Chains A and B, each alone.
Chain A
Amino acid sequence: MKQYVAKRIGAGIIQVILVSTIAWVLFFLIADLTGASPAARVAGKNASPAVIQQVSERLGTNRPYIVQYLNYMWNLLHGDFGYSYYQHRSVISILLPALETTASLVLVAVILWLLISIPFGLLAGLHAGGISDYGIRVLVVLGISVPVFLLAPMLNYLFAYQPAVGQFLFFTLPEPVTIFPVDGYVSITTDPFEWLRHLILPAMSIACITAALYVRYIRALTMENLGQDYVRTALAKGVRRRRLIATHMSKNMAPIVVTLIGLDVGVALGGVLFVENVFALPGLGYVTYQAISNLDYAVASGAITFAAIVAVTMNTLIDIAQGALDPRTRT
């Protein structure tokens, strides 16, 4: 186990270094090579030449690339993701307060997508070729075809905005009701119930689409497991179907699903970029979206680097947790 953890942490560190290097190539090298000055971009659109000169010295963009790169990595290691001359704050001081919202949103989204996909995936897998399988297949194709930036405003419109003005679909409600708030975020420490109520719709927007993918995975896993010897043995010794799924098959399927979740945290962080803005949740996605709209290059590039590092780190942590739970995965 120790060896596995050490190996996985090592691989994780390499991944973080790789992803930071990619970020540096994206935001500094490519910008420089295509003729756009990174310093001018970071300084913002209304910066005077003196400010650009100052930024350029701080970033060291006039020095050789290797020095710039090492300098950049050294700064990242110290939690320095740059300085926003647009907001006059360091990028990390903008990102850290946003972390709680995004972590809550992703957490609720993961729970929702598992709650949706496990029953549907099992149902489709157990009755493969049947009418329920066919119906679920239609829903899945629909699910993967709807972009998150369409689903989020539609959910907001139907379940938050419309009831609040006294309408629902084609019906007029006797009086306006608030099923879900239109936007905003309440911290879990303030009020756990309101926290959940504010997060259901945005998390649902992310979860619906990812759930469609997971229904496919779980359906395929179920079908594969059903054909295996241990299932035949269990059935032969008289294990009930319900118990077979709950204790025998779930143990074999869970590790694979957990690995997939580790990979899909990154996908969820991409969805956050669109969803948080629709629901005005002050998280990483909101900060990034605003930064892109305001041409605040320092925050946008810092936030993307930060999110990519978080995604890769989460991936490693989940792999380690899984190694602890399931010795077979320690390879």
Chain B
Amino acid sequence: MSRTPDAQAASGATPGLAAEESVDLAVGITEVPERTARSSGLRAVLRRNRLVTCAGAVTLLLLVLAVVGGPLAASITGHPPNRQYNNALNPEGVPIGAFERTYNAAGTAHDPNGQLFVLGADLLGRDQLVRALYGLRTSFTIAVGGAILAILGGIALGVTAGYFGGFTDAVISRAIEATLAFPTLLLGVGLALALGPGMLNVILVISIFGWYYPARIVRSVTIGVRNLQYIEAATSVGASVPRILFRHILPRLYSPMLIAGTSVVAANVLFEAGLSYLGLGVPPPTATWGQMLSDAVGSGYYQIDLWLAIVPGACLVIVVLTLNLLGDGLRDALDHRDSYL
């Protein structure tokens, strides 16, 4: 799960090393290219690449749904996310399925005037549609929060390692290698176990085990840029180190970080779902997809009513698939290696 971004880094070339190598090789080329990825413009990218357009549109829709979807669905259906409807369970405790109405008072048949549950009810008789939409909000809050922290950390460490080189670089590079060699998912579960459940804790866990992937990319981009003539020129006219870093190097990281960010958010959505599946995520009654899945699977009820597993499962797949496709498309559109230089 946590390896997703690495695989994407490898998709275009040899695993691991390629980006670094090609940048290092290209260091000798000192002329500044006429066009960078940024100057080719967002509109041109969208025209060229249908995949980015579609995946981007779906991502925007998902973001809007994450903000307004839950409350909207709750007000339309009239089912608050944590309200338990006893008449949505039959006497054996099996919840109603998709597009079914609640049972009558005796629990023998569906009441034609009962409440309609569009995606069925969960084991406690709560509306699955409303909870799935609230779950989207939880998922995005944590995944995006974790990604922002991880990328900020990655940029700080990667730029430091890449720009200053020498001993600093050696220490940071060893740390990146060590993190790669360690079973991050296991240690992530361990840290979540130590910190206990809670939204901030989950964001912290996710970002602590997510920084090394952006850091690796930032480092190789910085090394590629560091020795270019325009940096030399800036140094020779007396630009300070912070000015070079912020004015001349950070803008170069825009498109690599956009691509990495998309992959990191996708990996984070899965990581968060995994933690809440284990009961180490945001504590109940807050709706999370991992929790919904583990309730369905752990109780064995998904074998009787597959909707219990399908709803959170499909939500997860749709979100992660969209983000992965967006990341792939952005890579195709923006990452023509020379855009680093």
How many Å from the CB of B323 to the closest CB on chain A? Answer: 8
| B4 smallest CB distance to A (angstroms) | 5
Judge whether B189 and A18 touch: CB under 8 Å.
Answer: no
User: Contact at A150–B183, with CB atoms within 8 Å?
Assistant: no
- Contact of A287 with B by CB under 8 A: no
Tell whether B194 is near chain A: CB-to-CB under 8 Å. yes
Complex Cα gap A270–B192 (Å): 14
A141, B183: Cβ atoms under 8 Å? no
What residues of chain B lie closer than 8 Å to A311, measured between beta carbons?
Answer: 182-183, 186
Interface residues of A in 251-273 (CB under 8 A from B): 256, 260, 263-264, 266-267, 269-271, 273
With CB as the reference atom, state the residue of chain A lying closest to B12. Answer: A220
Given that A22-B187, A266-B186, A270-B185 are contacting pairs, would A141 and B193 also be in contact in the complex, using a CB cutoff of 8 Å?
Answer: no
Chain B residue numbers with a CB within 8 Å of A325 are: none
CB distance from A34 to the nearest CB of B (A): 7
Mask of B246-286 contacts with A, CB within 8 angstroms, 1/0? 00000000000000000000100010011001111000000
Bound form: Cα–Cα A260–B180 in Å? 11
Q: Are B186 and A145 in contact (CB under 8 A)?
A: no
CB distance from A109 to the nearest CB of B (A): 14
Query: Of B193, B309, B316, which is within 8 A of A301 by CB?
Result: B193
A308 touches B302 (CB 8 A): no
Does B2 lie within 8 Å of A267, measured CB to CB?
Answer: yes
Cross-interface CB contact of A297 among B2, B189, B193, B328, cutoff 8 Å: B193
Interfacial chain A residues near B328, Cβ < 8 Å: 141
Report if A208 contacts B (CB, 8 A). no
Residues of chain A from 112 to 161 with CB closer than 8 A to chain B in the complex: 141-142, 144-150, 153-154, 157, 161
> Taking A220-B15, A267-B3 as contacts, is the C-beta distance between A308 and B182 under 8 angstroms?
yes
B168 within 8 A of A: no
B7 at the interface (CB under 8 A from A): yes
Tell me if A304 counts as interface (CB < 8 A to partner B): yes
Q: Which of A144, A161, A256, A300 contacts B7 (CB 8 A)?
A: A144
Determine the residue in chain B with the shortest Cβ distance to A277.
B298
B1-50: which have CB < 8 Å to A? 1-4, 6-8, 10-15
* Interface residue? A101 (CB, 8 A): no
Complex Cα–Cα for A305 and B328 (A): 35
Contacting residue for A256 out of B3, B15, B182, B195, CB 8 A: B15
Q: In the bound complex, do residue A217 and residue B294 qualify as a contact, i.e. CB atoms below 8 Å apart? A: no
Q: Does A95 contact B (CB under 8 A)?
A: no
A26 at the interface (CB under 8 A from B): yes
Chain B residues whose CB sits within 8 angstroms of the CB of A260 once the complex forms? 15
| B76: interface (CB < 8 Å) | no
- Choose one: B2, B14, B194, B298; the contact of A27 (CB below 8 Å): B194
Residues of B within 8 A of A297 (CB): 193
Cα distance A215–B210 in the bound complex, in angstroms: 23
Question: Which B residue sits closest to A22, measured CB to CB?
Answer: B187
Q: How many residues of B are counted as interface, with CB atoms below 8 angstroms from the partner's CB atoms?
A: 55
Quick check: A308 and B183 within 8 Å, CB to CB? yes
Q: Is the interface of A mostly helix, strand, loop or mixed?
A: helix
Q: Which residue of A lies closest to B316 (CB)?
A: A147
> Quick one: CB contact mask for A32-58 with B, threshold 8 Å, 1 for yes?
001010000000000000000000000
Binary contact readout B156-190 vs A (1 if CB under 8 angstroms, 0 otherwise): 00000000000000000000001011111111011
Whether the pair A141, B325 counts as a contact (CB closer than 8 A) is: yes
Determine if A263 and B193 form an interchain contact, defined as CB atoms under 8 angstroms apart. no
Chain A residue total in the interface (Cβ 8 A) = 59
Residue of A153, A219, A267 ringed by the most chain B CB atoms within 10 A? A153
Nearest Cβ distance between residue B203 and chain A, in whole angstroms? 16
Asked if B128 is at the interface of the complex by the 8 Å CB criterion, the answer is no
Are the CB atoms of A147 and B7 closer together than 8 Å?
A: no
**Residue in B1, B8, B293, B303 whose beta carbon sits within 8 Å of that of A161 in the complex:** B303
Contact of A266 among B14, B182, B193, B194 (CB under 8 A): B182
CB distance from A306 to the nearest CB of B (A): 10
Contact B14 A270 (CB under 8 A): no
Provide the A288-310 mask, 1 if CB < 8 A to any CB of B, else 0. 01001100010011001101100
Residue of A nearest to B267 (CB): A144
Chain B interface residues (CB < 8 Å from chain A):
1-4, 6-8, 10-15, 178, 180-187, 189-191, 193-196, 266, 270, 273-274, 277-280, 290, 293-294, 296-298, 302-303, 306, 309, 313, 316-317, 320-321, 324-325, 328
In the complex, the 5 A-B pairs of residues with the closest C-beta atoms, listed nearest first: A266-B183, A270-B185, A145-B321, A213-B7, A150-B313
19 inter-chain pairs at a CB distance below 8 angstroms, sorted by A residue, are A30-B194, A36-B196, A142-B321, A145-B321, A147-B320, A149-B273, A149-B294, A153-B293, A209-B1, A217-B10, A260-B15, A266-B183, A266-B184, A270-B189, A278-B297, A292-B279, A297-B193, A307-B186, A311-B182
Q: Which residues of A contact B (CB under 8 A)?
A: 15, 18-19, 22-23, 26-27, 30-31, 34, 36, 141-142, 144-150, 153-154, 157, 161, 209, 212-213, 216-217, 219-221, 224, 256, 260, 263-264, 266-267, 269-271, 273-274, 277-278, 289, 292-293, 297, 300-301, 304-305, 307-308, 311-312, 315
